[in-house]
Amino acid sequence: MVFSTPIFFFYFLVITLLAYYLVPRKLRNPVLLLSSLFFYWWGEGIYVLIMFLSTAIDYTHGLLVERCKARGNLRGAKLAVASSIIFNLALLGFFKYWNFLAGSFAALGLDFMPVIQYIRLPFLDPIPFHLPIGISFYTFQTMSYTIDVYRGDTRAQRNILNFGTFVTLFPQLIAGPIIKYKDLGDQIDQRACTSEKFASGVQIFMVGLGKKLLLANNVGMLWDAYKAMAPADLTVAGAWLGVLAFTFQIYFDFSGYSDMAIGLGRMLGFEFLPNFNYPYISRSITEFWRRWHISLSTWFREYLYIPLGGNRCSRPRWMFNLFVVWAATGIWHGASWNYLLWGLYFFALLMIEKFFLLDKLQRAPALVCRIYTLFLVMVSWTIFALEDFGHLGAYLKVMFGLGGVPLADPAFGYYLRSYAPILIIAAIASTPLGASLYRRLSRRGQEAACTVLVIAGLVVCTAYLVASTYNPFLYFRF
Amino acid sequence: MSKKFSIFLSALFCAFIGGMLLVSCILPDVDFSQLENRKLQELPKLTLRSVREGEFMEDAEAYAADHIAGRDLWVALQAWCERLTGKQENNGVYFGAQETLLNRLEEPDRDKLSKNMEYLDRLCSDVDADVYFGLIPSSAAIWSDRLPAGAPTANEKAVIDQLYRSTRAETVDLYGALDAHKGEDIYYRTDHHWTSLGAYYGYTALMDAMGLEAVPLDSLTPVTVTEDFNGTSFSTSGVRWLPPDSIQTYIPGDGLKVTRYPDGSPVDSPLYVDSYLKVKDKYSYFLGGVQPLCTIETGLEDAPKILLVRDSYSDSLAPFLTKNFSEIHLWDLRWNNTSLQTYIAEHDINDVVVLYSISNYVGDTKQVLLTR
C-alpha cells in the first residue's frame, strides 16, 4: 500500500488512527504492529513473511549480542553481530541483486547463476519473484539495531512485540527515512501522544502529500513526455527541460514521502529525524549530500565509512573508503549499472571538491555556487533516471549540444508554457522561502494561514487523488 | 501552536478523512458511471483464493476509488486546477480554441500498421467485391489551428498518405474532403466523432471514390435532435466549463428496415434510437452504438449492396448511404469473430469499405479477421 492512494488515505489511515486511540495505552504497540503487518501484506502478500523472519532473527541476535557482552564474551558478540549483518545483507542481496548479477554474468557468457522467476516453498504455490517493497530501507534499519546493541549505543529490546513494531512501523516501512534503533528505541517503549504532536503531524503530512500529488506527479508527466521521445526527436532545450522536471520530480516525490512518514509518525506519537533540508539551495556537492536523504548518508557514515577507518588513515586508504561508500550508495539506489555510475560520479565530484574546489567555492558568489551545484546535480539525475546506457548516452549528448538536433522546437514551447507556472512553484518550494514567511506571521496569522492551507490541501489533494484513478472506458478504446 | 488550535487542526483533519469514509460508505452504491461509460467496481468478495492471488486487494482498491463520495466533482475540480495552473491539456485531451476539445494522437507503430496493410491486401484478392479503404482524420488534424501552439500530436496526413500508397485497395480521400470544409462544424467540440455534417463530407468522398452520385447537401434538411450532448472528450478531460454540443440528422429514419444483432440474433430497430438521447452516451443515438453486425435495407431497387467494416464513425455515415444502396451491412471486427469473407459472398456484397477513424485504426488489433 502506498500513502497517495484513496484506500490508504480514507480507509487504512482512518481505521488505524481510530483503533490506535481507542484501545488502552498498552495495546497501542500491538495495534501498530498488526496494522503495519496488514499494510505490508496488502501490497506484498506472502512476502510479509520477511517481516516475521526479520523480526525473529534480529530480535534473537540483539539479545544474543547483549548476553555475550554481559558475560565478557566479546568474540561471541562479534560473531552474533556478524551473523545478523550477514542475514540482512543476504536478504537484501538475494531479493534485490540476484537477478541483476545473474543477468550481468549471463551477458558475459557466464551462466552459473540462474535467473529466479519463482520462489518454491514447501506446501505453497510457486511465488512470483519480485523486489519486496521497502527492503532496502528495512534491512538497513534492522542491521543498525544489532550493531548499536553491540556498540552499547542502545539496550536490546526484550519485548518481541515492541521489536516487531520497530521493524514493521508502517509510516517509514517502504520509503524511509531510515530510522536507527537507537533514535527510536525509547519511543517504541514509551511515547507521549499529545494534540500538539498530532497537529504538527497533520501539518507535515499535508506538506508531504501536496509535494507528492501536486508537484512531483505533475512535473513527472513532463519528464515522462521527454523520456519517451526518441533521441532524434529531442531538442537541446527540451532535454534540459525534461531533466529539470525530473530534478523536481525526484525531490518532491522522495521528500514528500519522507514528510508524510514523519507526519504520520507524529500523529502516532513518534519523532523521526528530518530527511531533507532544502538540498537544491546547496552551494557545493559536499553540502548537497549533507542536505539530501540525510538518513541514508548518516547511515553509511556510521555503519560503513567510519568502520572502514573514515578519514583517520592514510590518504589513499581514505580515498578508498570514500570510493566504497559511494559505490555502495549508488548501487543501493537500484540494481542497475547506471546507479553505480551515479554513485561514482558523486565520488569523483566530492574528491575534486575536497582536493581543491571547496576553498574556491567558499570565496565565490553564492549564485555561482548554486548554479554550479544545480548543474552537476541535474546531470547526475540524468544518469539516475535513464537505466539504459544507450539511451543515457544519447540523451546526455543532446543536452550538451552534440546530438545534432535543433536547439528548440514548437513542442518545447508548448511544454514550457504549460509547465512554467508549476515549475516556478516547484522552484520556490525548493527553498526555505515559504517556511520563513510563515515564521514571520503572528500567531493568529499562522493559525489562519495554516487552517486555509490544510483545508485547501485536503480538497485539492483529494481531487488529484481521485483523478489519478479516473479511468473512462470510452467505447472507442479497447 | 496553542493547545486549542492543535485540537482544532487535528479534529479538522480527522473529520475530513473520517467524513469522506463515512459518506462514501453511507451513500448507496452506483453500479454504472455514465460519465466514464463503464461499470464501477463491485464490492469484492472475500475468498481465500482472491486474497491469495492479490485479486481481492486490487478490486478493493478499485472499489474504494470508484465509490468515493463526490467522485465526478473531484475529477472536475482536478481539471479546473490544471487549467488554473496554465495547463492546456488533461488526460491527453487538449483545451483547444473555439471551445473545442481535441484528442492527442500518439505516433503510431509503423510496423504494426504495415501488418494491417497485408491483411487488407489479402481481403482485396480473396473477395469478388470491390474493396475500398478509408481513414478518417481526427479533429486534432483537421482543426490543427485550434490546437494550443506547438501541441504535439501525430502527423495524421503523413500516416494516411503512407498507408494509402502501400495498399491495393481503392482509397477514399477523406482527409481532403474534410479539410476543404474545416471552417464548418464537421466534428463535435466535446466528442471525438465527426458530426453528421462531417459524415456527409465523408460520404461525398466515398461516392467520388466509387464513381457514384452523392445527394446534394442542399436537398437535405438538418434536424437538431439534442442540444445537450457532452461527448467522450468531455469525459476524458474532466473539462466541465464548455457548452454542450448539439446533434443533427440530415436523413429521415422512416421507410427503412434496420436489423441489429446485438447478441448475434436479429432485433428490429430504428435508424435512430431515441432512448439514447436521454442518457450521457448520446452518440449511440445513431444505430444504437456498439454491435457486431447491423443491416439496413432501403428498398432501393437495382442499387448495389455495401458492407462497411466499421467503427463508430460509420454509424453517422450510414444514414447517407441509404440514398445509394439497397442494403448496408455494418460489420464490427472487434465484436464479430465469424467469417467476414463468407458473409460477403453469401450476401452478394458489391462494395466493401474498410472505414476507420485513424485513432481507432492505429490501436486496432483485430485486422487479421479481414482474412477470414
Same domain, B177 and B299: yes
Same domain, B215 and B335: yes
In a domain, B267, yes or no: yes
More confident residue, B220 or B264: B220
CB contact under 8 A, A414 and B61: no
CB contact under 8 A, B150 and A195: no
Q: What are the chain B neighbours of A417 within 8 Å (beta carbons)?
A: 86, 88, 148-150
**To which H or E segment does residue B95 belong?**
strand B93-95
Most B-contacting residue of A7, A10, A215 (CB-CB within 10 A), to test interface: A10
How big is chain A by its Cα radius of gyration, in Å?
24
In a domain, B266, yes or no: yes
Asked if B121 has any chain A CB less than 8 Å from its own CB, the reply is no
Average pLDDT over residues B212-239: 94
Among B20, B238, B290, beta carbon nearest to A475:
B290
Distance CA B61, CA B44 (A): 10
Sign of CA dihedral B144, B149, B150, B152: negative
Same domain, B43 and B188: no
CB contact under 8 A, A202 and B232: no
The β-bridge partners of B249 are B223
CB contact under 8 A, B86 and A451: no
Average pLDDT over residues A249-270: 95
- If pLDDT is split at 50, 70 and 90, which confidence band does B63 have? confident
Q: Domain boundary at B65, B95, B125, which?
A: B95
Same domain, B276 and B150: yes
pLDDT at A474: 47
Asked if B52 has any chain A CB less than 8 Å from its own CB, the reply is yes
Report the b/e string of A160-181 with b at 16+ CB within 10 A: eebbbbbbbbbbbbbbbbbbbb
pLDDT at A478: 31
E strand segments, B117-192: 130-136, 170-172
Same domain, B91 and B113: no
Same domain, B227 and B269: yes
Catalytic pick from A61, A130, A293, A333? A333
In a domain, B161, yes or no: yes
- If pLDDT is split at 50, 70 and 90, which confidence band does B31 have? confident
pLDDT at A298: 94
pLDDT at A36: 96
Among A458, A463, A477, beta carbon nearest to B363:
A477
Q: What are the chain A neighbours of B289 within 8 Å (beta carbons)?
A: 475
Q: Is the pLDDT of residue B7 over 90?
A: yes
Q: Pick the residue from chain B with its C-alpha nearest to A477.
A: B360
pLDDT at B321: 96
Query: Does residue B185 sit in helix, strand or coil?
Result: coil
CB B97 within 8 A of CB B146: yes
Which pLDDT tens digit goes with each residue over A68-100?
Answer: 999 989 999 999 999 999 999 999 999 999 888
CB contact under 8 A, A475 and B20: no
Same domain, B125 and B89: no
Question: Residue B124: how many CB atoms within 10 A of its CB?
Answer: 19
Q: What are the chain A neighbours of B312 within 8 Å (beta carbons)?
A: 475-476
Asked if B3 has any chain A CB less than 8 Å from its own CB, the reply is yes
In a domain, B3, yes or no: no
A237 to chain B, closest Cα gap in Å: 15
ipTM: 0.91
Sign of CA dihedral A122, A127, A131, A136: negative
What is the separation of C-alpha A23 from the centre of its chain, rounded to a whole number of angstroms? 32
Q: Is the pLDDT of residue A6 over 50?
A: yes
CB contact under 8 A, A474 and B37: yes
Sign of CA dihedral A88, A89, A90, A95: positive
CB contact under 8 A, A476 and B359: yes
Same domain, B199 and B263: yes
Count of CB contacts below 8 A, A vs B?
171
Q: Domain boundary at B95, B118, B146, which?
A: B95
In a domain, B352, yes or no: yes
Same domain, B26 and B164: no
Among A414, A443, A472, beta carbon nearest to B150:
A414
- Which of these, A5, A7, A17, A11, lies nearest to A266 by C-alpha position? A17
Average pLDDT over residues A422-439: 96
pLDDT at A271: 94
Q: Is the pLDDT of residue A477 over 50?
A: no
Distance CA B137, CA B299 (A): 32
Q: What are the chain A neighbours of B13 within 8 Å (beta carbons)?
A: 202, 206, 454, 458
Same domain, B82 and B120: no
Mark whether A333 is an active-site residue: yes
- Which of these, A195, A201, A200, A205, lies nearest to A458 by C-alpha position? A205
Same domain, B25 and B134: no
Among B8, B150, B312, beta carbon nearest to A413:
B150
- Work out how many domains chain B is built from and give that number: 2
Crossing angle between the packed helical segments A337-352 and A389-399, to the nearest 10 degrees: 40
Average predicted confidence (pLDDT) for chain B: 93
At residue A433, φ and ψ (nearest 5 deg) are -55, -50
In chain B, count of helices (H) and strands (E)? 13, 15
In a domain, B192, yes or no: yes
Most B-contacting residue of A15, A193, A470 (CB-CB within 10 A), to test interface: A470
Peptide bond preceding A177: is omega within 30 degrees of 0, i.e. cis?
yes
In a domain, B338, yes or no: yes
A462 to chain B, closest Cα gap in Å: 7
Range of the domain at B47: 20-95
Which pLDDT tens digit goes with each residue over A378-417?
Answer: 999 999 999 999 999 999 999 999 988 999 999 999 999 9
Average predicted confidence (pLDDT) for chain A: 92
Query: Does residue B345 sit in helix, strand or coil?
Result: helix
Q: Is the pLDDT of residue A302 over 90?
A: yes
CB contact under 8 A, A412 and B77: no
Q: Domain boundary at B95, B128, B150, which?
A: B95
B87 to chain A, closest Cα gap in Å: 5
A79 to chain B, closest Cα gap in Å: 39
Average pLDDT over residues A328-349: 94
pLDDT at A121: 81
Q: What are the chain A neighbours of B290 within 8 Å (beta carbons)?
A: 475
Crossing angle between the packed helical segments B110-126 and B156-165, to the nearest 10 degrees: 40
Which pLDDT tens digit goes with each residue over B140-166?
Answer: 999 999 999 999 999 999 999 999 999
pLDDT-above-90 percentage for chain A: 77
* DSSP designation for A407: S
The pairing of beta strand B223-229 with beta strand B245-249: antiparallel
Asked if B50 has any chain A CB less than 8 Å from its own CB, the reply is no
The β-bridge partners of B199 are none
What is the separation of C-alpha B352 from the centre of its chain, rounded to a whole number of angstroms? 21
Distance CA B169, CA B171 (A): 6
- If pLDDT is split at 50, 70 and 90, which confidence band does A241 have? very high
Q: Is the pLDDT of residue A320 over 50?
A: yes
Most confident of A347-361, A374-388, A462-476: A374-388
pTM, full prediction: 0.92
- Which of these, A56, A299, A285, lies nearest to A176 by C-alpha position? A299
Asked if A473 has any chain B CB less than 8 Å from its own CB, the reply is yes
Asked if B266 has any chain A CB less than 8 Å from its own CB, the reply is no
Q: Is the pLDDT of residue A473 over 60?
A: no
**Residue carrying the nine cell digits 467520388:** B208
Start-to-end CA distance of chain A, whole Å, equals 28
pLDDT-above-70 percentage for chain A: 98
Taking a contact as any Cβ pair under 8 Å apart, which residues of chain A between 81 and 140 contact chain B? 125
What is the separation of C-alpha B78 from the centre of its chain, rounded to a whole number of angstroms? 24
pLDDT at A472: 57
Q: Which three cell numbers stand for residue A437?
A: 514567511
pLDDT at A115: 85
Q: Is the pLDDT of residue A66 over 70?
A: yes
- If pLDDT is split at 50, 70 and 90, which confidence band does A108 have? confident
Amino acid of residue A199: A
pLDDT at B46: 85
pLDDT at A2: 84
Most B-contacting residue of A466, A468, A473 (CB-CB within 10 A), to test interface: A466
Which pLDDT tens digit goes with each residue over B83-125?
Answer: 999 999 998 999 999 999 999 999 898 888 989 999 999 999 9
E strand segments, B278-368: 293-297, 305-309, 327-331, 351-357
More confident residue, B40 or A419: A419
